[in-house]
């Protein structure tokens, strides 16, 4: 039923707590493809004086962030690959929720498996809730895992 599972990760231990659930689902659902997605959108700070920065410095910083994201996802993917799954890694420059929704629709994912950070109150207002945005507008079912909090 879930042949292609999309797993958004942000590099945190909390987000990675969805992985055992993905393993279990993949084993029981005949999953043939898993895609690990990390969004690395450009960061724009309005209170910083950029007059001393060159465009190439900003470009180099983004390239480094994207490379680090790719390296991270490759490491996570190896666990699934050793079990025989086809695993793709994707790094997106879009904001997280938009990247997840765009990928799920354009690449025909059957399920999005995501962990929530469980923010509430002012923290949710300031940082937003990627998971909430995904659940409200996803074109496919969404499995949401509320992880146990670690000392991160």
pTM: 0.83
Tokens representing residue 148 in the block: 């146990």
Domain ranges of the chain: 4-145
Question: In the CATH scheme, what is the code of domain 4-145?
Answer: 3.40.50.620
Whether the predicted pLDDT of 107 surpasses 70? yes
Sign of the Cα torsion 10, 14, 20, 25 reads: negative
The answer, yes or no, to whether residue 112 has pLDDT greater than 70, is yes
Share above pLDDT 90 across residues of the chain, in percent, rounded to a whole number:
61
Q: Strands 33-39 and 142-145, how do they pair?
A: unpaired
Per-residue confidence at 148, pLDDT binned at 50, 70, 90?
Answer: confident
6, 111 in Cβ contact below 8 A? yes
pLDDT: which is higher, 134 or 52: 134
Confidence at residue 125, expressed as pLDDT on a 0 to 100 scale: 47
């Amino acid at each position: 039923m879930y042949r292609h599972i999309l797993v958004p990760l942000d590099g945190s231990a909390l987000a990675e707590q969805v992985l055992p659930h993905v393993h279990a689902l993949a084993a029981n659902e005949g999953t043939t493809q898993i895609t690990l997605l990390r969004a690395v959108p450009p960061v724009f700070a309005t209170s910083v004086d950029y007059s001393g920065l060159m465009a190439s410095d900003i470009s180099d910083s983004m390239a480094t962030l994207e490379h680090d994201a790719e390296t991270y996802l490759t490491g996570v993917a190896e666990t699934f690959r050793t079990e025989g799954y086809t695993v793709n890694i994707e790094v997106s420059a879009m904001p997280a929720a938009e990247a997840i929704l765009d990928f799920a629709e354009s690449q025909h994912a059957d399920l999005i498996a995501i962990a929530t950070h469980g923010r509430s109150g002012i923290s949710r207002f300031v940082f937003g809730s990627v998971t909430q945005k995904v659940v409200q507008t996803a074109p496919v079912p969404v499995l949401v895992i509320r992880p146990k909090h670690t000392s991160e």
